[in-house]
């Protein structure tokens, strides 16, 4: 059976080329909104998307012919995984496609923070030449605790080893692992030894608001926090307080709990301004996995995974 595929998000043109090479038919309709998608989805065997729509029970009730959902990215928090499994629909995503991008962005943000590049750049552009005020911190010999040792966590650990860091990895679902790039540890060791904490976990009911005042208080030493995962994992109010008390020395935030900055509530805006004015935080607009290369690699990973689905392989036997 050859799938007929609906694509509802803007994608790199390489995806269309790859689908055509495999002789799969598709409709590329990135301007469709949810109600329009629901009206159409019933006749498709495949759906490719990024983050436009939430895939819930109501959506799947309209998708009776659907054999697979392919998420062009890593996170699956907008998809009801249990409901998809209940409907026997294959769920694909592509963390392998942007893991290097996330790893390099993570290291880049950390180096910029440690060397105060955001501050130094602004000052020099204003003809302020303050060498002592921009003295940096070396990454070498720091202990980095990675929470979530999956595709992204492993890529970050591999990059860190070149800097002479001690890397500790903790993963609730894979508590014991063997890798040359990190030491498998219990969470208590993360709390006891970490200088830098890097988050690489999905957003779930267990991880939402995970980093709060209580969590920060468990670390023996002041830490730096990096979040390139999901914004809702870090309680920004508590992070701002931890920065003020010195429990957290600095933060790199590629993601925020509300990324539509023009819609921040008064409380959210107050916290955002505290973080922005602290001089201890570097932001980026959810682009850690968003490089020119990853835009293409994600498509290649997805198409390769689609080719391996049972109903595809059987059609070629």
* pLDDT tens sequence across 294-313: 999 999 999 999 999 987 76
Residue by residue, what is the 3-state secondary structure of the chain? CCCEEEECCCCCHHHHHHHHHCCCEEEECCCCCHHHHHHHHHHCCEEEECCCCCECHHHHHCCCCCCEEEECCCCCCCECHHHHHHCCCEEEECHHHHHHHHHHHHHHHHHHHHCCHHHHHHHHHCCCCCCHHHCCCCCCCCEEEEECCCHHHHHHHHHHHCCCCEEEEECCCCCCCCCCCCEECCHHHHHHHCCEEEECCCCCCCCCCCECHHHHCCCCCCEEEEECCCHHHECHHHHHHHHHHCCEEEEEECCCCCCCHHHCCHHHHHHHHHHHHCCCEEECCCCCCCCHHHHHHHHHHHHHHHHCCHHHHHHCC
Check whether residue 83 and residue 162 sit in a common domain. no
Check whether residue 119 and residue 251 sit in a common domain. yes
What residues make up the domain containing 261?
99-283
Number of domains observed in the structure of the chain: 2
Q: How much of the chain, in percent, has pLDDT values that exceed 70?
A: 98
Check whether residue 129 and residue 58 sit in a common domain. no
> Quick check: is 301 in a domain?
yes
Q: What is the pLDDT of residue 316?
A: 52
Check whether residue 213 and residue 265 sit in a common domain. yes
Check whether residue 81 and residue 116 sit in a common domain. no
Q: What is the pLDDT of residues 176-206, one digit of tens each?
A: 888 899 999 999 999 999 999 999 999 999 9
Q: What is the pLDDT of residues 279-292, one digit of tens each?
A: 999 999 999 999 99
Check whether residue 122 and residue 76 sit in a common domain. no
Check whether residue 266 and residue 117 sit in a common domain. yes
Check whether residue 71 and residue 188 sit in a common domain. no
Check whether residue 206 and residue 118 sit in a common domain. yes
Check whether residue 229 and residue 137 sit in a common domain. yes
Task: Calculate mean pLDDT across residues 233-240.
Answer: 98
Task: Report, as residue numbers or ranges, the catalytic residues.
Answer: 230, 259, 286
> Quick check: is 213 in a domain?
yes
CATH value at residue 143: 3.40.50.720
């Amino acid at each position: 059976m050859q799938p007929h595929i609906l694509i509802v998000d803007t994608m790199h043109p390489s995806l269309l080329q790859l689908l055509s090479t495999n002789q799969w038919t598709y409709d590329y309709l990135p301007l469709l909104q949810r109600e329009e998608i629901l009206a159409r989805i019933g006749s498709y065997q495949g759906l490719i998307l990024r983050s436009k729509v939430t895939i819930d029970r109501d959506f799947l009730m309209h998708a009776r012919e659907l054999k697979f959902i392919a998420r062009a990215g890593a996170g699956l928090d907008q998809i009801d995984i249990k409901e998809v499994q209940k409907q026997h629909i294959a769920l694909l995503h592509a963390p392998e496609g942007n893991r290097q991008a996330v790893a390099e962005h993570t290291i880049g943000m950390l180096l910029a923070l440690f060397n105060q590049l955001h501050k130094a750049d602004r000052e020099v552009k204003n003809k302020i030449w303050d060498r002592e005020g921009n003295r940096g911190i070396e990454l070498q010999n720091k202990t980095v605790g990675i929470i979530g040792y999956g595709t992204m966590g492993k890529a970050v650990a591999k990059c860190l080893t070149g800097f002479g860091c001690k890397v500790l990895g903790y993963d609730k679902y894979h508590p014991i692992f063997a890798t040359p790039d990190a030491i498998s540890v219990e969470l208590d060791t993360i709390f006891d030894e970490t200088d830098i904490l890097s988050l690489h976990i999905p957003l779930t009911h267990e991880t939402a608001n995970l980093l709060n005042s209580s969590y920060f208080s468990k670390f023996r030493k002041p830490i730096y926090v990096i979040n390139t995962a999901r914004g809702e994992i870090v309680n920004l109010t508590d992070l701002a307080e931890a920065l003020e008390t010195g429990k957290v020395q600095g933060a790199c935030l590629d993601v925020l709990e509300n990324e539509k900055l023009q819609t921040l509530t008064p409380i959210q805006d107050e916290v955002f301004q505290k973080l922005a004015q602290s001089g201890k935080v570097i932001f980026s607009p959810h682009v850690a996995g968003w490089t020119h290369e990853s835009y293409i690699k994600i498509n290649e990973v997805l198409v390769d995974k689609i080719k391996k689905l049972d109903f595809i392989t059987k059609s070629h036997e």
